[in-house]
Amino acid sequence: MADISIYNPTDLGTPMGQYTHVTRVKASEFLFIAGMLSGDSQDNIVGEGDFNAQCTQVFKNVEAALRSAGADWSNVVQFTTYLVHSQDIPKFMDFRTREFPKMFPDGKYPPNTLLMVDRLVKEPFLVEVQTIAAL
């Protein structure tokens, strides 16, 4: 069973969003999840042109990947989030402020690195989340 500690070092400023600076993890089993996009189980693109709908689907997909290994949100040790449009940053912040307290009821939000890139694998995708978890 992974021993996961998520914390903010005292020397660092307040995280700029719903994430924490550091995960310290003692584990012998890890989950590497490919970047999740807003596709559904029938291979349809969900939420074309709708950032919030895409975010919802992306995290739903990450959760499905976690569950497939008997894991849940508390197993996540690192997120890396890619957005295509910087205009979506406030929407991403709003999404996490609204949803993360339900997903992470202890307030231990995993470290995240937020990056604006040119494009994802298909033009309509607006957000992608890459996840590492410990079991």
- Supply the minimum distance, in Å, between the C-beta of residue 97 and a second copy: 14
Q: Yes or no: say if 20 and 13 are a contact pair by the CB < 8 Å rule.
A: no
- Positions touching a second copy (CB under 8 A) are 7, 9-17, 19-37, 39-44, 61, 64-65, 67-69, 77-78, 80, 82, 86, 89, 110-122, 128, 130, 132, 135
Spatial distance between the Cα atoms of 129 and 40, rounded to a whole number of angstroms: 15
Q: Yes or no: say if 108 and 21 are a contact pair by the CB < 8 Å rule.
A: no
Residue 29 has which token pair?
Answer: 């089993």
- Supply the minimum distance, in Å, between the C-beta of residue 83 and a second copy: 9
Q: Which is nearer to a second copy, 106 or 118 (CB)?
A: 118
- Supply the minimum distance, in Å, between the C-beta of residue 22 and a second copy: 5
32 to each of 5, 10, 35, 61, 107, how far by Cα in Å? Answer: 19, 29, 9, 14, 23
- Supply the minimum distance, in Å, between the C-beta of residue 102 and a second copy: 19
Q: Which is nearer to a second copy, 50 or 114 (CB)?
A: 114
Q: Which is nearer to a second copy, 68 or 97 (CB)?
A: 68
The residue among 118, 52, 47 whose CA lies nearest residue 85 is 118
Q: Which is nearer to a second copy, 16 or 106 (CB)?
A: 16
What is the residue whose two structure tokens read 């995290």? Answer: 59
